[in-house]
Every structure is written in structure tokens, then in C-alpha cells.
Amino acid sequence: MIDKATYDFYQSRAPHYTLNFGCSHSTRLDSFLDRLVPGAAILEIGCGGGRDAARMKARGFAVDATDGVPAMVTKANERFDLGARVMRFDQIAASSRYDAVWAHACLLHCSRAQLPGVLGSIHRALRPGGWHFASYKLGDGEGRDLLGRLHNFPSPEWVRDQYAKAYFELIDAKVYAGNAADGTVRDWIAVTVRKP
């Protein structure tokens, strides 16, 4: 399921990529965690270097940190001792196991054809009332960035429609200006949804 060029980028550049982004957690993480009960079980997909999972752990949550790229999992465990494990988006197989699924800047690499199935798996993995966050780079159609990585580059409307079709309740969708690792400036969308 992982696009080979995208996989190869992260596998070969994991040490530089994780160091470049430092240890500061995502700016939207704490407000998302504030929605959860203490000790909630969180699945993180696309954990990268582990900075967000480390913040979740520090705040007392039970974190299952995963990434589809072995080199990224290695860096996350070296830096933060998270017990992170290798798991691709298409390998999410849990059922009603998590209170939340955190997917910061990772599902944007999921092809448009495969995203509905992944969202369905996330929905199944959540307990009733469970929360999910994801962020996407906006655009006008699937393609590659200047570093060769696959992106689904959706419109805000397309993102909202995909979550509605996956039976999520949309709680918040914020469009904001952001930079990308390839140096381009793009709008992003941050989506917070809930499983009814």
C-alpha cells in the first residue's frame, strides 16, 4: 500500500528528517488531548520521530505509536523509548480498541483510492464516542511534491465528504497556511471528527 518513492524517501532520510523537526510536539496536539479522558488509549499512525507520542505519554495517555517506515520507528524508539512498532495504514485491524486516533501529516500520503478504506479501519478501531484528528495539504488533485512523495492534495470539500462517507461526525475543520518540507507554501486542513 505504501507508495515506493514515498517509502524510500522516509526510509533513507529518517535520521535527518526527524532531527530537522526537533522535539517539539505538534501545535494542535494538546487541544486534541484535552478532549480525552485521563489515561485514554490512543493509536498514533505515522508517528515519525515520535515527538507527538512522547507528549501523549508525558500527559499520561496509553499510546500505541506506529509508522509504516521501519527507519522512522527506529528513530522514535531511540529518541523517546516509546515501544513504537511498524504498521502501515492498510494494516489497522483493531476493533473498538482505542479512544482516539491521531494522524498528524501522514494520511496526506494515502492515495485517494485507498483513503476510504483506511478511514473505515480507523472508524472500526475507535470505541463509540472516540476521536480522530488528521491534517492534509490542500490542492487540486493527487500528485507528487518536489521531493517525489505522493500526496492526495484534496480540497476541503473532498476531505469533509470522505469523513462523512466513513460515518464520522465532523466536529471541526480548520484551513490554515503552512509550509511543506519541499519548501512550497500551501494551505492545510486540520480535521477533528468523532465516532458517534
CATH number at residue 127: 3.40.50.150
Q: Report helix, strand or coil for 122.
A: helix
Q: Considering the domain boundaries, does residue 181 fall inside one? A: yes
Q: Are strands 62-67 and 41-44 parallel, antiparallel or unpaired?
A: parallel
Beta bridge partners of 42: 63, 100
Phi and psi at residue 81, to the nearest 5°: 50, 55
Q: Which of 124, 143, 140, 142 is nearest to 132 (CA)?
A: 124
Q: Considering the domain boundaries, does residue 25 fall inside one? A: no
The pLDDT confidence band at residue 156, using thresholds 50, 70 and 90, is very high
Q: Are strands 143-144 and 85-86 parallel, antiparallel or unpaired?
A: unpaired
Q: Considering the domain boundaries, does residue 145 fall inside one? A: yes
What pLDDT is stored for residue 161 in this prediction? 98
Q: Considering the domain boundaries, does residue 112 fall inside one? A: yes
The pLDDT confidence band at residue 100, using thresholds 50, 70 and 90, is very high
Q: Which of 57, 46, 180 is nearest to 118 (CA)?
A: 46
Q: Please give the tally of structural domains in the chain.
A: 1
Q: In the numeric block, which cell numbers belong to residue 189?
A: 486542513
Cα–Cα distance between 18 and 77 in angstroms, integer? 12
Q: Considering the domain boundaries, does residue 132 fall inside one? A: yes
* pTM, rounded to two decimals: 0.95
What pLDDT is stored for residue 23 in this prediction? 63
Q: Are strands 169-179 and 85-86 parallel, antiparallel or unpaired?
A: unpaired
The pLDDT confidence band at residue 142, using thresholds 50, 70 and 90, is very high
Domain range for 67: 4-17+31-194
Q: Are strands 150-151 and 143-144 parallel, antiparallel or unpaired?
A: antiparallel
Each residue of 72-87: pLDDT tens digit?
999 999 999 999 999 9
More confident residue, 30 or 180: 30
Q: Considering the domain boundaries, does residue 26 fall inside one? A: no
Report yes or no: 166 and 111 within 8 Å, Cβ to Cβ.
Answer: no
Q: Considering the domain boundaries, does residue 23 fall inside one? A: no
Each residue of 109-134: pLDDT tens digit?
999 999 999 999 999 999 999 999 99
Each residue of 11-68: pLDDT tens digit?
998 887 666 555 689 999 999 999 999 999 999 999 999 999 999 999 999 999 999 9
Cα–Cα distance between 87 and 46 in angstroms, integer? 9
Cα–Cα distance between 101 and 133 in angstroms, integer? 7
What pLDDT is stored for residue 181 in this prediction? 77
Q: Considering the domain boundaries, does residue 22 fall inside one? A: no
Q: Are strands 62-67 and 126-137 parallel, antiparallel or unpaired?
A: unpaired
